Amino acid sequence: MIEIQGLTRTYGATTAVDDVTFTVEPGRVTGFLGPNGAGKSTTMRMICALTRPTSGQSLVLGRRYEDIPNPGRTVGVLLDAQAQHGGRTGREALTVSALTMGLDRRRVDEMLELVGLTPAEARRRVGGYSLGMRQRLGIANALLGDPQVLVLDEPANGLDPAGIHWMRTLLADFTRAGGTALLSSHLLREVEVIADDLVVIGRGRIVARGTKAELLATGGAVVRSADDATLLVALQQAGLDAVESPGGGLVVEAEPAVVGRVAVDRGIALTELRPSDGGGLEERFLQLTAADAREGVHR
């Protein structure tokens, strides 16, 4: 279990993470979502004691990360697949970690096989790896100590479809055995498939949290018209959160009847108006982060 309580981080006058509180339960994958710059990576770095919080705390299995003896045997961490020694081979990188944790060298071979790095690839220097290979090596390093908890920031970045499927299966097996997994990703459809719980952050604050079923069942509307630009302005002037949908039309944080009344009042003809419940995580993400997104939704 990971318990995050009032976690805050400021840099001068800027608040990067603002009073963040949530729990990552054992036996479940928790998806941690938010626009670029929302505070996801800073929060994960504070969990792993790489960034000191201004206030609040995070506990992993009831302890601060820095108080855990030999933490790699308890918490597997992948925050940046690029941050690996380019001059070492893949095998050397894992061997250094294994020796640091007091593990048998045979564990290195087990992990290389698990993540699908061949003997020839393991002999290559990491500097010559593709991003996908670096991700596999980073995941191998996170799993090396047979941890109970995983903290993974964008682990699917650079993986091909087969690699993403492999990672999905790996995380499902890990949590099925009682492990705790916190996963951030901009691949919303993948998170929708694998996550049991969701935490959404925007501008450093939690904007929603709950089970996947709870958050995706929340009301809202999808609307299309002959003039979506005019309709968007009308909805926003009426005080409703509305954003453009990647698939066309608008996603609105309001019941369809409310949206319809605004359109009627402004004389805007609608071509589609429906509840957004069936739209999936992408539409819900747009609704929750409409005021916080810098570059729109990343798929």
**Is residue 210 very low, low, confident or very high in pLDDT (cuts 50, 70, 90)?**
confident
Task: Tell me the two tokens of residue 234.
Answer: 């009308």
In a domain, 298, yes or no: no
In a domain, 283, yes or no: no
Reported as a single tens digit per residue, the pLDDT across 276-299 is: 755 566 666 666 665 565 444 433
Are 141 and 167 in a shared domain?
yes
145: Cβ contacts below 8 Å, ≥ 6 apart: 70, 72, 73, 74, 76, 101, 103
Are 227 and 116 in a shared domain?
no
**Is residue 267 very low, low, confident or very high in pLDDT (cuts 50, 70, 90)?**
very high
Are 202 and 240 in a shared domain?
no
Range of the domain at 157: 2-209
In a domain, 146, yes or no: yes
Are 57 and 202 in a shared domain?
yes
Residue 190 in contact with residue 281, Cβ under 8 Å?
Answer: no
Q: What is the pLDDT of residue 220?
A: 78
In a domain, 95, yes or no: yes
Average pLDDT of 209-213?
83
**Is residue 188 very low, low, confident or very high in pLDDT (cuts 50, 70, 90)?**
confident
In a domain, 294, yes or no: no
Are 199 and 257 in a shared domain?
no
Please state, for a pLDDT cut of 70, what percent of the chain lies above it: 90
CATH of the domain at 231: 3.30.70
Q: What is the pLDDT of residue 152?
A: 95
Reported as a single tens digit per residue, the pLDDT across 104-159 is: 999 999 999 999 999 999 999 999 999 999 999 999 999 999 999 999 998 888 88
pLDDT reading at 257 higher than 60:
yes
In a domain, 215, yes or no: no
CATH of the domain at 193: 3.40.50.300
Of the listed ranges 40-44, 155-159, 212-216, 220-224, the one predicted with least confidence:
212-216
Q: What is the pLDDT of residue 288?
A: 66
| 3-state SS record for the chain | CEEEEEEEEEECCEEEEEEEEEEECCCCEEEEECCCCCCHHHHHHHHCCCCCCCEEEEEECCECHHHCCCHHHCEEEECCCCCCCCCCEHHHHHHHHHHHHCCCCHHHHHHHHHHCCCHHHHCCEHHHCCHHHHHHHHHHHHHCCCCCEEEEECCCCCCCHHHHHHHHHHHHHHHHCCCEEEEECCCHHHHHHHCCEEEEEECCEEEEEEEHHHHHCCCCEEEEECCHHHHHHHHHHCCCCEEECCCCCEEECCCHHHHHHHHHHHCCCEEEEEECHHHHHHHHHHHHHCCCCCCCCCC
Are 236 and 120 in a shared domain?
no
Q: What is the pLDDT of residue 185?
A: 83
Backbone angles phi, psi at 241, to 5 degrees: -80, 115
Please state, for a pLDDT cut of 90, what percent of the chain lies above it: 66
Beta strands 149-153; 180-184: pairing state: parallel
Q: What is the pLDDT of residue 287?
A: 61
First to last CA, the chain: 29
Among 186, 209, 232, the domain-final residue is 209
C-beta pairs of 128-135 under 8 Å, 24+ apart in sequence: 129/90, 130/158, 131/81, 131/82, 131/157, 131/158, 132/158, 132/159, 132/160, 132/163, 133/90, 134/81, 134/82, 134/84, 134/158, 135/78, 135/81, 135/159, 135/163
Are 47 and 191 in a shared domain?
yes
**Is residue 208 very low, low, confident or very high in pLDDT (cuts 50, 70, 90)?**
confident
Q: What is the pLDDT of residue 279?
A: 57
Are 129 and 246 in a shared domain?
no
Of the listed ranges 18-27, 126-135, 146-155, 200-209, the one predicted with least confidence:
200-209
Domain count across the chain: 2
In a domain, 293, yes or no: no
Are 139 and 187 in a shared domain?
yes
Q: What is the pLDDT of residue 284?
A: 64
Are 51 and 74 in a shared domain?
yes
Are 168 and 21 in a shared domain?
yes
Among 169, 189, 209, the domain-final residue is 209
Reported as a single tens digit per residue, the pLDDT across 46-64 is: 999 999 999 999 999 999 9
In a domain, 286, yes or no: no
